[in-house]
């Protein structure tokens, strides 16, 4: 939010009035604001990107929601909710995710957080007419990042485990390529 916009928001909160564009008469308002950000506002204040007075005006009841990657147990519940909701909106039957597909979704780091998960579920409803969504139906970006995460060795590998890891990655890559065609 620009410094100019921050000043305007602060003024509205403090004075409980604003002048709409195109008029000269201020309107009185009685509002409560729920604000969210993925930024560390205290850090943003230190570097001069956020007004300290606005921060304290907004920071009445703060709460932290951890990112989706730290709440993997929520993924099955959220996918079910989003699939049901979008199926209803688009007049379709909600598909079922296979357990392997859910496992892959749980292992994905979700850099776009819940919004990204929501968009993936909407894409399934719009683009996939089948009743079951399997691993190979997942977006390539999810497959690629999940496979790299899953196949990274945590301890010294044997030749056999290295070969299995390579074969698994190779097969998943080829399946994703086939699906993209």
pLDDT in tens, 162-174: 777 777 777 877 7
133: pLDDT strictly greater than 80: yes
104: pLDDT strictly greater than 70: yes
CB 138 within 8 A of CB 95: no
**What is the pLDDT at residue 173?**
74
Q: Which of 58, 46, 50 minimizes the C-alpha distance to 12?
A: 58
Burial 99-117 (b: 16+ CB within 10 A, else e): eebbbbbbbbebeeebebb
* Residue 129, burial from CB neighbour count under 10 angstroms (0-12, 13-18, 19+): exposed
Give the chain's count of helices (H) and strands (E): 8, 4
């Amino acid at each position: 939010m620009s410094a100019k916009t921050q000043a305007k928001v602060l003024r509205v909160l403090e004075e409980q009035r604003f002048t709409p564009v195109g008029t000269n008469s201020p309107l009185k308002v009685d509002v409560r604001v729920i604000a969210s950000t993925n930024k560390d506002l205290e850090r943003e204040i230190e570097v001069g990107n956020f007004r300290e007075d606005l921060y304290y005006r907004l920071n009445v009841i703060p709460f932290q929601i951890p990112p989706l990657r730290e709440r993997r147990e929520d993924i099955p519940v959220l996918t079910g909710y989003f699939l049901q909701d979008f199926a209803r909106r688009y007049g379709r039957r909600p598909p079922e995710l296979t357990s392997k597909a859910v496992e892959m979704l749980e292992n994905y780091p979700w850099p776009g957080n819940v919004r990204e998960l929501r968009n993936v579920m909407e894409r399934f409803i719009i683009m996939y007419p089948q009743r079951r969504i399997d691993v190979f139906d997942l977006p390539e970006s999810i497959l690629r990042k999940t496979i790299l995460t899953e196949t990274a060795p945590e301890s010294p590998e044997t030749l056999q485990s290295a070969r299995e890891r390579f074969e698994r990655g190779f097969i998943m890559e080829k399946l994703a390529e086939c699906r993209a065609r």
